[in-house]
Structure 1
C-alpha cells in the first residue's frame, strides 16, 4: 500500500518558535558550575581535604543549576521577534550531567534529602527552559544526549552510532566534570542505547511505580526535545531546498537526534522490532531480560527508618540570616514541578470540552476527562494498568507518532512508512483489546489523519475476512470504505477479533467524516448495517467455553463490539439529520 507523504509536508510548513541564539557561558562562570557539581558529587557527601573550594554539599547542585538557569533566562523579557538576545548555554558535558540528575536514584528514590530531591527537580526545570528558549539544535542536545556506552550493538556487531562532539571552539575538555555520575556512572554511559532506556522506563511503569514517577518526567522531556529537534531539521531541509539561508543551525540533517538513535539499530527489520519491544515493554520476564535496569540497584529504595528520621529532623529558623526552615518551601514531591502545569492542563481540557458542547460528531467513546476518571470496565490483565496506566499509554502513543514523523521525513535514513507500519501491525494487532482500542480509537488524536487512516487499514489487513476486496490506493474515499471495509466481519469467529475489526472501521468512519466529509447516502448506511450484522453473526459462532479471566475478557469484547455498533448506528442517524460540513467527492 502506498502511504501518504503529506505528514512530512505538514511538518515542513509548521512555524517554529522564535528561539534565542546560543552563546557559551564565560569561562569563569563555567568553572564555578563545575566546582559546584564536582563538590556535590563527592562520594558519600563527605568533605574532602583536597577540595580547594568546598561548600555545603547539601545544596551545591542546586546552586549550580540556579546559576545556569539565571544565565539562561537573563534578557528574555527584552527579546522581541525582531530582536533576540543570545542566551548563555552550558557545554554538552554539563547538559548530559543535568539530564542524568533528573532520574538518578541517589537524588530521587534512594534519598530522603529534600535538597537532593529539589536538585533533581531543578535539573528538569532547567532542561525544559533550555528547550523552550534556545531549542534543541542550538543547545547541542545531539552532542549532549549521545550514548557513550562501550557495549557493542547486539544487532549489527558495531557500536551504536551517535553524533560526534562539537569541538569547533578548539577545546575538547569544554565543561568536563570529573565525577563518576558525570562519566562512567551517567545515564548516557550506563545505558546501551536510547531504546534500552525507553524499554526500562516502561518496565518501571508496570513494576516500580516510584521509579516510573521520575522516568515519566524524563521521557516527557525527551519526547518534547526529539519532536522539536525533528521539526527544526525538517525546516532546515525546506529552507535549503528553496535556496534560503537556514535560520537555525548549519549541521547536516543527519544530526537529528531521533535519526541518530534509530541508526544505532541498523537498517533491518530486526532493529525496528527491538524499538517496538521497547515501546511496548510490559514488565514481563522477556521484557525485563532485554531491558534491564539502567543504574545499579536502581529499584532498591531508601529504608523507612531513614525517611522517618529525615521527616522528623529539627527545622532551623534564623530570621536575621534569612533562614526560614520549611515555612516557605514548595511541595518537594518528585513530580511537584509539573503539578501546576498538569492542573492548568486539566482545567483547560474540561473548559474546552464544555465549550464544544458536543457540536462535533465524534465516534470516540469517551473524552480525556472521562478516561482519566473512569474505573476500568474489566479486571482483565489487558487493561491500561497492565501497560503502566493512562500516562504510560499516552507516552507510548507519542513514540508511535514520533517514529511515523521521522519515517515520513527521512525514509532513506530510517525506513519508509509502509515498512514501519508493517512492524506496527505486528505488535499492535495482538495487543489486548483495551490497549488496541486506545491506539486505534484514541480520545485525543496522536497521529496525522492521513497516517491514522493508513495505519488503521494496515491493521485491518490480517484481521478482515478474506472475501473483502484488496485495497491498495493512496487516498481512502467514501466509496472505497463502503466497498472494502464497512460490510465485512473478521476472518475468525473470535469475539475479540470481530471487535477489533469494528473499532478499525469505526475509526475510518471518523477520520473520513472529520477531514473529508461523508455523504449521508443509502449505500453508506447499508454497508455499515451489513457489517454490524456480519460481525455479530460471526462472533456468535465461537462456541468455545471459557472460564475465569478468559470469560471476563470475552464478555468485555462482546461489550466493545456492541458499543462500537451502537456508536456507528447513532453516527448514521446524526449524519442523516444534517448535511456534512464538507461535500465529499465520491
Structure 2
C-alpha cells in the first residue's frame, strides 16, 4: 500500500495505489489521466498541539455556566485557554480542552432552532456563532483526535445514562503516544451537564439515531427550507471538515506506524522482504467509521443508507424520502414571529390595578426559545382517520371534520398568542437549481470522497461492499437525476477543489459505460493497461465512447452522455495525455451526428416542421437539446485546442524539454 493518503489535501493529485477503484498496480501509461506525483505527505501532515483536560476548578466553573445557560461567559472562558496556544508551540505544553459532554452541548447550540432560525433575540444568534467559532478553532489547533470529537459527537438516541453516558474517556496525548484518541473507557458521570439542551428533547446527538438521518434531513432543507439550510450548511461544513481531518490524521499515523514496523522487521531479518499488509487499526476507530457502524448497529443496509442520504432531495416524485428524513428538532421549520409590532394599543396601555389583580401586560408570556409546544407534538399533529363520504354522511362527522380543518389552519391556532409562525407550505421545485442545491453538491461530493476511501482502505465489512459496487450504485443513482442536477455533479470546478482527479476519472468511466450501447467496443479489449487502472486513455475515448450515442432515444440521456464525454475529453486535455490526429476530429463529429439522429427517433419531430416540433417538446426536452448543443460545441473546441497544442509543440521542436504543466489548461 502506498504511503500517501488519498484524502490528504485538496490538490487533486494522486498515486496509482490510492486510486480507489483499482488494486495496487504499476504506473500507468503516459496517455492516461491517472497522474502520479512524488510523496509529499510529510509536508502536508497536519501539526496539532498536545492537549490535556482543563483543571477541575475551571471544568466545574464551565459546567455551572452551561447548566445555568450562561453560554457566552463559558465560551469566553474556554476560548481564553486557546488564545495562548501559539505561545505553547515553543514550550510544547499541552492545550487545555473541555470534556466531551461540554463539546457536545456546544455542537447542539450551533444548530438548534432556538439559537439559529428561531432565535428570539440577537444574543441567541451570538451564542450559536461563538460556539461554532470555538469548535472550529479547537479543530484547527488541537485536532479532532486530541479534542476527542469522536466521543463528543457520537449519536446515542434515547440514552441518558448507563454505558452511553460512560461512553469513553480520553488520554490527552499527542498523536502516536496513545491509541489514537477516543479509547473506550469509563466516562466520569460528574461531567454530565444537567440541562434540557443535553437531554433527549433537544440534543442533536440524542434526537437522531445516526449521522445519516441528520444528513438526509439537512440536504432536504437545501431545497425546501432555505431559512434552515443557511444554518445546516455551516453545521455540515464543520462536521465534514472534522471527519476529513480525523480520517487524514489516523491514516497518516497508521501508515507511519506500518513503515516503522516494516523497517524494524527488515533490520532484524536482513535479506527478507516483508509481505505484510497494513490493517489500519486507527482508521477503523475514526469518527466516520463510527457513523457507519451506527447503521450496522441498527441492522440497516449500510451502503444503501449512505447513498440514500447522499442523494436526499425534497423530490415530490420520491415521497419516501419526504417521510423517511424527518425534522431533527420538534417543529424545526417554524419561524419566530415578532409580535411586538402587532400588539394592539389597548393591550400596550392596559391598566395596572394591584388591588383588583389587574397587572396589565406584565404577566404576558415572554418569548422563550423553547416552549411547551415541543413536549406535546403528538397532540398537535394527531389526525383522525378519514372516512368515506357515505360513511361520513351516516355518522355526521364529515361536516364537523371539515369545519375543524378550516378553523385549525396551523398547529398553533388553538393556542392564541404564541410568538411563532409556520413557514410557507408550498415548497419550490427541488430540481430548479437554487443556491442551496448548488451548495449542497459540494458537501455531498466531499462525503462521497470519504465513503470511497473507506471502501478502498478498509475491508468490505465496514460498508458491506467492494469498491466497484460502491461506484456502481453511486453512478446509477447519479444517472437517474434530472439533467440540471446531474450537470452540477460533473462541474469542472470540483476537480481541483472537492474531489481528486482519480475519483472523477472513475465516475466518468462508470457513467460512460452505463450510457454506451452494446455495439460499442469493450475498453478492456481496446486498451487493457488503462482499463486495468480504471483510467481513461485517448485510444479508449476515441474508439469506445466518442463515436456513439446513448443506448436510449431519450433526449435527456443523450444530453447526459454528451456531458460525460465532454468532461472526459477535457480531463484528458488537462493531463497533457492527448495528441491530435485526423481520426479524433472525425470520431467527435460522428458521435455528434449519431446523438442528434438518435433523439429524432424519439418521436419529437413527427411532421409540422421545426416550429411545431418546438411547441410539442416539453421543458425538459428543450433543456436537453440545449445541453446537447453546448456539449457538441465544447467537444469541437476540445479538438481545436488539441490541434493547436500539438502544432505548437511541433513548431517548438523540443517537446521533451518542455514542462508538462504547460499543457494543462482550464476547462471551458
Q: 2:457 corresponds to which residue?
A: 409
Q: 1:513 corresponds to which residue?
A: 573
**2-side partners of 1:162 and 1:182: how far apart?**
11
**1-side partners of 2:335 and 2:571: how far apart?**
46
**2-side partners of 1:2 and 1:77: how far apart?**
41
Of 12-21 and 552-561, the range deviating more from structure 2: 12-21
Q: 2:266 corresponds to which residue?
A: none
Equivalent pair of 2:580/2:642 in contact (CA under 8 Å): yes
1:176 aligns with one of 168, 185, 192 = 192
How far residue 304 of structure 1 moved from its aligned partner, in angstroms, is 2.8
Say whether residues 1:263 and 2:293 are aligned partners: yes
Say whether residues 1:488 and 2:555 are aligned partners: no
Equivalent pair of 2:168/2:187 in contact (CA under 8 Å): no
Say whether residues 1:103 and 2:111 are aligned partners: yes
**2-side partners of 1:417 and 1:278: how far apart?**
18
Equivalent pair of 1:198/1:278 in contact (CA under 8 Å): yes
Structure 2 counterpart SS, 1:88: strand
**2-side partners of 1:13 and 1:78: how far apart?**
22
Structure 2 counterpart SS, 1:146: coil
Q: 1:566 corresponds to which residue?
A: 633
Structure 1 counterpart SS, 2:336: coil
Structure 2 counterpart SS, 1:488: coil
- Superposition map of 1:196-345 within 5 A: 196-243=213-260, 252-266=282-296, 270-284=301-315, 285-305=319-339
Structure 1 counterpart SS, 2:335: coil
Equivalent pair of 2:210/2:295 in contact (CA under 8 Å): no
Deviations 1:296-332 (A, max 9, x none): 11112212315889xxxxxxxxxxxxxxxxxxxxxxx
How far residue 148 of structure 1 moved from its aligned partner, in angstroms, is 0.4
Is the alpha carbon distance of 1:380 and 1:129 closer, same or farther for their aligned partners in structure 2, counting shifts above 3 Å?
closer
Gap runs ≥5 in structure 2: 1-18, 25-33, 172-184, 263-279, 344-427, 525-530, 606-612, 650-658, 664-668
1:557 aligns with one of 612, 618, 624 = 624
**2-side partners of 1:14 and 1:501: how far apart?**
40
**2-side partners of 1:76 and 1:251: how far apart?**
31
1:421 aligns with one of 448, 459, 471 = 471
Q: 1:393 corresponds to which residue?
A: 441
Q: 2:382 corresponds to which residue?
A: none
**2-side partners of 1:437 and 1:162: how far apart?**
45
Q: 2:274 corresponds to which residue?
A: none
TM-score when normalising by structure 1: 0.75
Deviations 1:378-397 (A, max 9, x none): x9863323x93321222222
- Superposition map of 1:30-45 within 5 A: 30-40=59-69
Structure 2 counterpart SS, 1:304: coil
Say whether residues 1:471 and 2:471 are aligned partners: no
Computing the radius of gyration from Cα coordinates, the structure with the larger value is 2
Say whether residues 1:3 and 2:21 are aligned partners: yes
Is the alpha carbon distance of 1:230 and 1:548 closer, same or farther for their aligned partners in structure 2, counting shifts above 3 Å?
farther
Equivalent pair of 2:105/2:197 in contact (CA under 8 Å): yes
Is the alpha carbon distance of 1:307 and 1:125 closer, same or farther for their aligned partners in structure 2, counting shifts above 3 Å?
farther
Q: 1:186 corresponds to which residue?
A: 203
Deviations 1:256-308 (A, max 9, x none): 11111112233999422222221222224322211111111111221231588
Structure 1 counterpart SS, 2:52: strand
Say whether residues 1:137 and 2:145 are aligned partners: yes
TM-score when normalising by structure 2: 0.67
How far residue 495 of structure 1 moved from its aligned partner, in angstroms, is 1.0
Say whether residues 1:195 and 2:212 are aligned partners: yes
2:73 aligns with one of 63, 88, 94 = 63
Structure 1 counterpart SS, 2:125: helix
**2-side partners of 1:405 and 1:227: how far apart?**
11
How far residue 109 of structure 1 moved from its aligned partner, in angstroms, is 1.9
Q: 1:89 corresponds to which residue?
A: 97
**1-side partners of 2:438 and 2:134: how far apart?**
27
How far residue 130 of structure 1 moved from its aligned partner, in angstroms, is 0.7
- Superposition map of 1:522-561 within 5 A: 522-544=582-604, 551-561=618-628
Is the alpha carbon distance of 1:25 and 1:432 closer, same or farther for their aligned partners in structure 2, counting shifts above 3 Å?
same
Paired residue total? 481
Is the alpha carbon distance of 1:488 and 1:171 closer, same or farther for their aligned partners in structure 2, counting shifts above 3 Å?
closer
Is the alpha carbon distance of 1:547 and 1:23 closer, same or farther for their aligned partners in structure 2, counting shifts above 3 Å?
farther
**2-side partners of 1:380 and 1:299: how far apart?**
18
Deviations 1:426-463 (A, max 9, x none): 21001011111111233232322122111111112222
Equivalent pair of 2:139/2:242 in contact (CA under 8 Å): yes
Equivalent pair of 1:411/1:417 in contact (CA under 8 Å): no
Q: 2:643 corresponds to which residue?
A: 576
CA RMSD of aligned residues (A): 3.3
Q: 1:329 corresponds to which residue?
A: none
**2-side partners of 1:137 and 1:529: how far apart?**
54
Structure 2 counterpart SS, 1:389: helix
How far residue 180 of structure 1 moved from its aligned partner, in angstroms, is 2.0
Equivalent pair of 2:223/2:430 in contact (CA under 8 Å): no
Equivalent pair of 2:145/2:246 in contact (CA under 8 Å): yes
Equivalent pair of 1:11/1:234 in contact (CA under 8 Å): no
Equivalent pair of 1:440/1:507 in contact (CA under 8 Å): yes
**2-side partners of 1:256 and 1:502: how far apart?**
39
**2-side partners of 1:515 and 1:558: how far apart?**
30
**2-side partners of 1:99 and 1:11: how far apart?**
34
Q: 2:355 corresponds to which residue?
A: none
**1-side partners of 2:241 and 2:310: how far apart?**
16
**2-side partners of 1:483 and 1:163: how far apart?**
61
1:383 aligns with one of 432, 448, 456 = 432
1:124 aligns with one of 115, 120, 132 = 132
Of 212-221 and 449-458, the range deviating more from structure 2: 449-458
**2-side partners of 1:450 and 1:464: how far apart?**
21
Equivalent pair of 2:114/2:120 in contact (CA under 8 Å): no
Equivalent pair of 1:162/1:264 in contact (CA under 8 Å): no
How far residue 407 of structure 1 moved from its aligned partner, in angstroms, is 2.3
Say whether residues 1:432 and 2:482 are aligned partners: yes
